[in-house]
């Protein structure tokens, strides 16, 4: 509870869920009120949302796993695009543009969570800390599930200008919260990416990278070790040693 990262990530979730849950919940009704079709038939117009969500999670998930770019950059990019989509929904240039912006914003909102959870988990230490962080964010960060749908009331139909204005403000606050959280966790995030790239390179050489990121604030002097796997039994003990219990370790120092 004393860790500021716990509250920062909770604010990220809270602002995001308030700003996006309402649109996700009322999307069929919003589409119907835009004059496309009835509520029942508007369910068919939600299919592109599911397709885009799967596409975004697959593409950006694989991209983030390469550790080439900072992981917080992905959810932040989603938030910026969602904010741009909300501006289209707020100004209402045309019915087609509003429908396209609604589908894109909803798909990115659903894809935001898989991009955020690895970032949240990598800033925790030990199993208990990870479990508490996940539970705390899930409980308090999901306040948008109760508040968000109240923004999209029928009295704001059919264009929901007021609703999208409030949602834009919430997404803007989520962007600020994400940027602040990124600044606070920048050292751990950078070290995590460097270890990830080192593991990928070690795997190509048939080696195993040991140890992990320093969570105690002593950044800049992280050390790792490589073990060459035994070709016969697949273990990490060094072959050719007189004492089978002695591991053959290759020290590796990563300069951060």
Higher pLDDT, 129 or 3: 3
% of residues, the chain, pLDDT over 70: 73
Higher pLDDT, 95 or 62: 62
pLDDT tens per residue, range 7-20: 899 899 989 999 88
Residues 22 and 152: their CA atoms lie apart, in Å, by 6
The answer, yes or no, to whether the previous bond of 90 is cis (omega within 30 of 0) is no
Q: What is the pLDDT of residue 254?
A: 44
Residue 41's pLDDT band, with cuts at 50, 70 and 90, is low
pLDDT greater than 70 at residue 238: no
Q: What is the mean pLDDT of the chain?
A: 77
- For 4-184, CATH gives 1.20.1250.20
Residues 213 and 195: beta-carbon distance below 8 Å: yes
Assign residue 241 a region (left: φ > 0; alpha: ψ between -120 and 50; beta: otherwise). Answer: beta
Task: Spell out the residues 6+ positions from residue 4 whose beta carbon is closer than 8 angstroms to its own.
Answer: 184
Residues 226-237, mean pLDDT to the nearest whole number: 46
The encoded tokens of residue 69 equal: 């770019």
Q: What is the pLDDT of residue 42?
A: 66
Residue 66's pLDDT band, with cuts at 50, 70 and 90, is confident
Judged by DSSP in three states, 72 sits in coil
| φ, ψ (nearest 5 deg) of residue 191 | -65, -40
Domain boundaries, the chain: 4-184, 188-253
Higher pLDDT, 101 or 145: 101
Higher pLDDT, 219 or 103: 103
Residues 199 and 65: their CA atoms lie apart, in Å, by 12
DSSP code string of 23-46 = HHHHHHHHHHHTTSS-HHHHGGGG
Residue 37's pLDDT band, with cuts at 50, 70 and 90, is low
Residue 132's pLDDT band, with cuts at 50, 70 and 90, is confident
Residues 145 and 23: their CA atoms lie apart, in Å, by 11
Residues 143 and 17: beta-carbon distance below 8 Å: yes
β 249-253/223-227 pair status: antiparallel
C-alpha distances out from residue 102 to 43, 221, 255, Å: 13, 47, 45
Which of 103, 77, 102, 75 is closest to 90 using CA atoms?
102
Residue 57's pLDDT band, with cuts at 50, 70 and 90, is very high
Q: What is the pLDDT of residue 173?
A: 95
Higher pLDDT, 44 or 241: 44
Residue carrying the six token digits 């990830």: 196
Residues 202 and 72: beta-carbon distance below 8 Å: no
């Amino acid at each position: 509870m004393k860790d500021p990262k716990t509250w920062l990530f909770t604010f990220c979730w809270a602002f995001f869920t308030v700003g996006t849950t309402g649109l996700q919940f009322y999307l069929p009704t919003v589409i119907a009120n835009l004059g496309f079709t009835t509520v029942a038939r508007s369910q068919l117009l939600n299919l592109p949302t599911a397709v885009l969500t799967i596409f975004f999670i697959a593409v950006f998930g694989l991209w983030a796993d390469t550790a080439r770019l900072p992981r917080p950059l992905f959810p932040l990019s989603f938030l910026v695009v969602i904010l741009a989509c909300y501006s289209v929904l707020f100004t209402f240039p045309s019915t087609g543009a509003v429908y396209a912006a609604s589908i894109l914003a909803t798909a990115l909102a659903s894809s935001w969570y898989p991009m955020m959870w690895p970032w949240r988990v990598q800033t925790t230490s030990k199993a208990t800390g990870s479990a508490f962080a996940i539970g705390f964010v899930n409980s308090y960060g999901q306040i948008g599930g109760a508040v968000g749908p109240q923004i999209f009331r029928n009295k704001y139909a059919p264009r929901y200008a007021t609703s999208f204005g409030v949602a834009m403000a919430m997404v803007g606050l989520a962007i600020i919260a994400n940027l602040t959280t990124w600044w606070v966790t920048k050292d751990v995030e950078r070290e995590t990416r460097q270890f990830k790239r080192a593991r990928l390179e070690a795997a190509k050489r048939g080696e195993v990278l040991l140890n992990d990121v320093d969570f105690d604030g002593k950044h800049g002097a992280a050390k790792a070790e490589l073990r060459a796997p035994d070709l016969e039994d697949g273990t990490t003990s060094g072959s050719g040693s007189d004492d089978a219990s002695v591991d053959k370790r290759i020290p590796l120092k990563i300069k951060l």
